[in-house]
Amino acid sequence: MSVSSRSGWGRMVRFRLSGSIPALAGLLLWACLAPPVMAGGKPAAPPVVSREELDKNRAALTQVVQRLKAEQEALRQAKQQERTLLDDLEQLDLTLEKGRQELEKLTASMEETRQEIPWLEERIKERKERLERQRRLMAGQMRMIYGLGEQGMIKMILSQDDAALAQRSVRYFGYLLEARHTRYQAFRESIQALNLAISEHQVALNRLDSQATEQSKLQANRQERRKERQTLLERVRADGESRARQVEALQQRQEEMTLFVKRLEEALAEALLANARYGHIAEQKGKLPPPIHAQGEERPPGIFYKAKESATVRSIFRGHVVYADWFKGYGLLVILDHGDHLFTLYGHNSRLVANHGDWVEKGDIIAESGDTGSLTGPGLYFEIRHQGEATDPTAWLAKKGA
């Protein structure tokens, strides 16, 4: 069944979580202050929460997620599950993601260096011009002093009939010599400043050259890992028995996700009071927009949208980002809690935009599509879960043309 999508620009409303309460019991207390719904069905503006409180509750949420992931990994190891090609794929994906982050960080650093170089060049130009002005002033002053000569100065002073005038001449020559000394000092300092600017400019050029070399290495390494990944996918597709084992492994990941979301909801419920308000997503059943502008196909228990890498992924409704990280079988994953025991999952992303603890509005950008953890190429895997259990997403999304 084909499912189409539409998306609109929205604004990201981010609140940084905090609070002065223990990690589990006090997790996300501020979410109880989540915006209520005004008359007419429109959500009210989010309340103002102190930065300190938000930051502390963000840390609490991170601790809960890390604890649940550790529990899940311990359970997996206890079952002593056989390693599958899906596990090999995950390791390659994690390596690729680490490389992407390093490359992104390096690219940003290179851009900073590129912006610094013109500024350094302008500073060198200004200091050269200042040095030239000082040189001309000193040359004129020195010509005047040496034109008089030592005897000329003495003669000029002694030739004055008026003692006061002679005294002024002495002071004048004193000022002249002092000014020469001051200009000489300034000239020397300008030379030092120019040399420093030239040195800093060369350092920046060397740094950029080194960064470019490192960038080429990272890109080459990333390309090799992508080739390895493609080879692994071809092995899975060519071997029917292997393919069946991967499907079984994916089903196991679905069961792990069910357990994880249930445990996550329990942990949130311990901290979020019963009157927490999210916007009543249940009232929007059958009216919600799809998360990405792409053609989708049902892939129970969710929908897989075939999309090019880095396509925009948006929130289908106001929600709280309770998970934004890697998840086995889902790749880079975002989980939103919308209240009413309803969670939406956005998997296989190439990059996450939303972070733990963010509040997002309907239509806000939360990720970019990709193929992390995917066996079928780039796109977005989307699920809706109610009380941890997967539910048919087509019942919640608006029909095409509606």
Contact 17, 271 (CB under 8 A): no
Rounded to whole angstroms, how far apart are CA atoms 346 and 337? 12
Q: Provide the pLDDT for residue 26.
A: 38
Rounded to whole angstroms, how far apart are CA atoms 268 and 336? 12
pLDDT per residue as tens, the chain (402 positions): 444 443 333 334 333 333 333 333 333 333 333 444 433 444 444 544 556 666 666 676 777 777 777 766 666 555 555 456 667 778 888 888 888 889 989 999 999 999 999 999 999 999 999 888 888 887 776 676 665 555 455 555 555 556 666 566 556 666 666 777 787 888 888 889 899 999 999 999 999 999 999 999 999 998 898 888 888 878 766 766 666 666 677 778 888 899 899 988 888 777 653 335 577 899 999 999 999 999 999 998 999 999 999 999 999 999 989 999 999 889 999 999 998 889 999 999 999 999 988 889 999 999 999 999 888 889 999 999 998 999 999 999 998 765
Q: Provide the pLDDT for residue 78.
A: 53
- DSSP label at residue 376: S
Non-local (6+) Cβ contacts of 128 within 8 A are 194
Angle at 383 between CA 381 and CA 384, to 5 degrees: 160
| Predicted structure pTM score | 0.63
Rounded to whole angstroms, how far apart are CA atoms 319 and 338? 4
Q: Provide the pLDDT for residue 399.
A: 87
Q: Provide the pLDDT for residue 137.
A: 80
| Amino acid of residue 116 | E
If phi > 0 it is left, if psi is from -120 to 50 it is alpha, else beta; for residue 113 that is alpha
CATH fold of 2-38+48-83+254-395: Glucose Permease (Domain IIA) (2.70.70)
Contact 334, 367 (CB under 8 A): yes
Domains 2-38+48-83+254-395 and 102-235 share a fold: no
CATH number of the structural domain 102-235 = 1.10.287
Nearest to 234 by CA among 130, 399, 37, 88: 88
- What are the residue boundaries of the structural domains of the chain, listed by start? 2-38+48-83+254-395, 102-235
Q: Using CB atoms within 10 A of its CB, is residue 240 exposed (0-12), middle (13-18) or buried (19+)?
A: exposed
